[in-house]
Amino acid sequence: MNKIIIALDGHAGCGKSTTAKSVAKELNYVFIDTGAMYRAVTYSFLENDIDFADPTEVSKALDAISLKFVFNPEKGLGEIHLNDVNVEPFIRNMNITRRVSDVAAIKEVRQFCVIEQQKMGKDKGIVMDGRDIGTVVFPTAELKVFMTADVEVRAKRRLKEMEDKGEKTNLSDVIADIENRDYLDSTRKESPLKKAEDAVVVDTSGLTIKEQVASILNLAKKKIELS
Ligand code: CDP
Ligand code: CDP
């Protein structure tokens, strides 16, 4: 059977990664969390005190970065490695989350990540989630989904996730972060977050993960049959 590319784009906290993981598992496809790449670059820039506003410094810093996903058989997932070090444990805290949209708006950073993402998807059979997958990375993806949901619902989901991890925060801070990132991601000059013309819109506000996965899987199976 032919393999396809599934692009899941949308706002923060809609359930893109969770859905992409399950859909990839069901189809025996590779899941690629492109947000992890922008987070890993942000982590590297902060660790090395890179001046985001200086394009020369940014380009030099990117030259020294290698990113790859290494499969962790225990988790059944690829984990992001920065220069051969697993940085998964360091990239999902509030410190990185607050800065990532600024780093992801830099042209050189986007070019760097997009080239890597296109290489990862060259043999198809991938479920890739992000902000610009259907518009820029794989504009010819066979299935494009644009996810959205009410901001409070998304923030409550994120808050629960953070509390489960023992991170101290509150609903209004999480809402502020999500609104700020959505704004920065949608209004930036380079590859802003927007729905691809041919994307299917899925509002996940009232959906459970199970329903969400079933709906995307259903769409994917139809596309696979046609391909
Ligand atoms: O999971 P969450 O929605 O918090 O975010 P993420 O998917 O980990 O992405 C973190 C940030 O990376 C986003 O807010 C965007 O600024 C950026 N990003 C992007 O610009 N393009 C992508 N393809 C993926 C993420
Ligand atoms: O990748 P994205 O930022 O779009 O969202 P995610 O990281 O997959 O999901 C954020 C949180 O919302 C996770 O803890 C999910 O389990 C939860 N979620 C949920 O409870 N119900 C949904 N329908 C979608 C996501």
Ligand 2 pocket residue status of 205, Cβ below 6 Å = no
What pLDDT sits at residue 168? 87
DSSP 59-101: HHHHHT--EEEEEETTTTEEEEEETTEE-GGGSSSHHHHHHHH
Ligand 1 pocket residue status of 191, Cβ below 6 Å = no
Q: Specify the 3-state DSSP secondary structure of 40.
A: helix
Domain ranges of the chain: 5-221
pLDDT digits (tens, 9 = 90+) for 11-23: 999 999 999 999 9
The residue whose CB lies within 8 Å of the most ligand 2 atoms, and thus the one to mutate among 22, 129, 157, 175, is 157
Smallest CA-to-CA distance from 144 within 78, 193, 99, 195 is with: 195
Scanning the chain, the segments in alpha helix (DSSP H) are 16-27, 34-47, 55-63, 94-104, 107-120, 151-164, 171-187, 209-226
Residue 17 annotated in ligand binding:
yes
Q: How far is the CA of 73 from the centre of ligand 1 (A)?
A: 25
Q: How far is the CA of 75 from the centre of ligand 1 (A)?
A: 22
The pair phi, psi for residue 130, each rounded to 5°, is 180, -140
- Give yes or no for a contact between 144 and 134, defined as CB atoms under 8 angstroms apart: yes
| Range 5-221 classified under CATH 3.40.1580.10 | no
From the CA of 160, give the closest atom in ligand 2.
14
Residue with CA at minimum distance from ligand 1 atom 7:
35
pLDDT digits (tens, 9 = 90+) for 158-194: 999 999 989 888 999 999 999 999 999 999 999 999 9
From the CA of 101, give the closest atom in ligand 1.
16
Q: pLDDT tier at 4 (50, 70, 90 boundaries)?
A: very high
Q: How far is the CA of 226 from the centre of ligand 1 (A)?
A: 31
pLDDT digits (tens, 9 = 90+) for 198-215: 999 999 999 999 999 999
Full-model pTM: 0.97
* Cβ-based neighbours of 43, under 8 Å, separated by 6 or more: 82, 87, 90, 91, 96
Query: Pairing state of beta strands 67-72 and 77-82?
Result: antiparallel
Q: pLDDT tier at 76 (50, 70, 90 boundaries)?
A: confident
ipTM score here? 0.98
Q: What is the mean pLDDT of the chain?
A: 96
